[in-house]
């Protein structure tokens, strides 16, 4: 069965979900509401020993921002903001302080002071809010601190980028196990920011909801593929290097990282035309369980030298799993991806290969990749995929953005405060 491997530190997917490590617990508001809604009713006497998912929390304050190494929640909203034309360093500081204070409250199940629907904050459902800085934001704070990689990615031949999904000055990444809680938090934070910035784009995504799949199962994308097998999970030996630059890269700031967000359109109409052997040949893995074509389990190491009865490689040179691998140990990323599926008006017919519209689906992947240095980690991988990846037959990148993720903050501080000193 496909699994998100448990980190070597002893954390498990289940322990994270139950809050054994991440400081999960019911807030006062949540506890009161549970009682008010009948938690003591005998009809609810069979409730599990562990807290219900709605009252679980993830810590907000700390050296690093939550939402990167955090076990992925069921829903996300990536929100890019453009700062007002007259934005200054001082106005940005005020904005970040307001956003930080309200995000800190919301993630712990507490309503901010200006929340006109405070009861909607009572079920935090592992809400996290992660803030990222685009080039203009870092330059406003301190141009000398801007990392060299904080710029748009180079052009790739497979791209059909649409400006409505590109870049932005500030990123708000909201992730949550409950869609209602997420929508409310997004509304509160956008009200906070509207005096300072305007919304450039919003990308909503989803995975399986809590309890829909067995604990630890690796997510699937809407091609039906197991997505995220080769990933340096928190607690594994190379996670710190890949994400935070420890022992291999020079971090742009201590406990900071970067995120590359690629919006990838998936053409389900043409994917439907391929049979299972053709799909597995393109991916290099079995669709049923994610195992490499040379293995029996999802996390078996692919054997790129193995030959079939006719002498051809079992895993083709153009397969996605082959093209995404590198002999250079620096060329690794940490992926935390979500599906998207938008309503299509007047849907009919079929789209063709390379189309980014038409047919009955507007479906794809919000590919969020975290790494210490996109130039040295993400770009080389993408170049190989751009040159030769059979999956390009069915996928088209339509959006691209790069943000610097600053460190976390302590109580009384605000996200990004280390850059203002």
> Domain-by-domain residue ranges, the chain?
13-420
Q: What is the pLDDT of residues 317-361, one digit of tens each?
A: 999 999 999 999 999 999 999 999 998 876 667 777 778 877 788
Mean pLDDT value across the chain:
89
Model confidence at 122: pLDDT above 70: yes
Q: What's the gap between Cα 231 and its chain centre? A: 13
How many Cα atoms within 13 Å fall on the side-chain side of residue 217?
18
Residue 4 has pLDDT above 90, yes or no: no
Instruction: State percent of the chain over pLDDT 70.
Output: 87
Give the chain's length.
421
By CB neighbour count within 10 A (0-12 exposed, 13-18 middle, 19+ buried), where does 412 fall? exposed
Mean pLDDT of 398-416: 98
Per-residue pLDDT, averaged over 159-182, amounts to: 97
Burial (CB count within 10 angstroms: exposed 0-12, middle 13-18, buried 19+), residue 114:
exposed
Nearest to 85 by CA among 147, 141, 140: 140
Model confidence at 217, pLDDT cuts 50, 70, 90, reads confident
Beta strand extents in 47-97 (DSSP E only): 75-83
In which band, very low, low, confident or very high, does the pLDDT at 28 lie, cut at 50, 70 and 90? very low
Assess contact for 370 and 258: CB atoms under 8 A.
Answer: yes
Is the Cα torsion angle 71, 73, 77, 83 positive or negative in sign?
negative
| Nearby residues of 60 by Cβ (< 8 Å), 6 or more positions away | 66, 103, 104, 107, 108, 128, 129, 408
DSSP string, 223-265: TS-B--SS---TTSTTHHHHHH-TTTS--SSTT-EEEEEEEEE
Residues in CB range of 287: below 8 A, 6 or more apart: 224, 225, 226, 276, 279, 280
Distance, in Å, from the CA atom of 229 to the CA atom of 235, rounded to the nearest integer, reads 16
- CB atoms < 10 A from the CB of 186, how many? 19
CA atoms of 415 and 406, how far apart (whole Å): 7
- Pairing between β-strand 75-83 and β-strand 197-206 as defined by DSSP bridges: antiparallel
Can you name the residues that pair with 267 across neighbouring β-strands? none
Count of Cβ atoms closer than 10 Å to residue 39 Cβ: 13
Do residues 164 and 82 lie in contact, with contact meaning Cβ atoms separated by under 8 Å? no
Rounded to a whole number of angstroms, the CA Rg of the chain reads: 22
Q: 214: pLDDT confidence band, cut at 50, 70 and 90? A: confident
Q: Which residues contact 13 (CB under 8 A, 6 or more apart)?
A: 4, 6, 71, 215, 216
Q: How far is the CA of 36 from the CAs of 40, 50, 325, in angstroms?
A: 9, 19, 53
Q: What is the 3-state secondary structure (H, E, C) of 257-287?
A: EEEEEEEEEECHHHHHCCCHHHHHHHHCECC
Catalytic hit among 4, 169, 227, 269: 227
The reply to whether 386 belongs to the active site is no
Q: Would you give the distance in Å from CA 183 to the centre of its chain?
A: 17
What does each C-alpha distance from 403 to 79, 320, 369 come to in angstroms?
A: 12, 26, 11
pLDDT, position 188? 98
- Between 96-100, 112-116, 215-219, 308-312, the lowest mean confidence (pLDDT) is in 215-219
In this predicted structure, the answer to whether residue 399 has a pLDDT above a threshold of 90 is yes
Dihedral sign, CA of 172, 183, 228, 126? Answer: positive
């Amino acid at each position: 069965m496909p699994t998100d491997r448990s980190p070597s530190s002893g954390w498990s997917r289940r322990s994270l979900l139950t809050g054994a490590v991440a400081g999960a617990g019911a807030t006062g508001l949540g506890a009161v509401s549970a009682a008010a809604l009948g938690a003591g009713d005998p009809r609810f006497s069979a409730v599990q020993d562990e807290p219900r998912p709605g009252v679980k929390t993830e810590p907000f304050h700390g050296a690093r921002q939550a939402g990167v190494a955090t076990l992925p929640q069921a829903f996300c909203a990536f929100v890019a903001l453009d700062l007002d034309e007259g934005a200054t360093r001082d106005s940005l500081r005020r904005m970040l302080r307001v956003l930080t204070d309200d995000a800190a409250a919301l993630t712990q199940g507490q309503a901010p002071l200006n929340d006109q629907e405070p009861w909607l904050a009572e079920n935090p459902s592992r809400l996290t809010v992660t803030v990222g800085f685009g080039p203009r934001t870092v330059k406003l704070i301190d141009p000398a601190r801007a990392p060299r990689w904080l710029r748009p990615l180079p052009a790739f031949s497979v791209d059909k980028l649409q400006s409505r999904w590109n870049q932005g000055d500030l990123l708000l990444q909201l992730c949550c196990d409950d869609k209602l809680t997420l929508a409310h938090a997004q509304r509160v934070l956008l009200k906070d920011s509207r005096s300072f910035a305007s919304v450039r784009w919003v990308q909503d995504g989803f995975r399986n909801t809590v309890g829909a799949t067995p604990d630890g199962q690796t997510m699937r994308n809407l091609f039906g593929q197991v997505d995220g097998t080769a990933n340096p999970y928190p607690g594994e030996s190379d996670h710190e290097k890949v994400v935070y630059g420890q022992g291999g890269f020079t971090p742009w700031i201590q406990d900071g990282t970067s995120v590359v967000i690629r919006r990838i359109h998936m053409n389900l109409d043409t994917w439907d035309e391929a049979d299972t052997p053709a799909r597995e040949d393109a991916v290099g893995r079995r669709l049923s369980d994610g195992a490499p074509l040379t293995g029996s389990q999802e996390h078996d190491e692919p054997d790129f030298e193995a030959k079939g009865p006719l002498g051809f490689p079992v895993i083709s040179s153009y397969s996605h799993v082959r093209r995404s691998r590198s002999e250079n140990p620096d060329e690794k990323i940490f992926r935390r991806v979500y599906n998207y599926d938008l309503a299509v008006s007047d849907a009919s017919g079929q789209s063709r290969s390379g189309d980014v519209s038409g047919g009955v689906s507007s479906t794809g992947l919000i590919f969020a990749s975290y790494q210490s240095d996109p130039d040295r980690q993400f770009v080389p991988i993408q170049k190989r995929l751009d040159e030769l990846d059979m999956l390009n037959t069915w996928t088209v990148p339509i959006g691209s953005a790069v943000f610097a993720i600053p460190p976390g903050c302590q109580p009384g501080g605000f996200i990004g405060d280390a850059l203002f000193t």
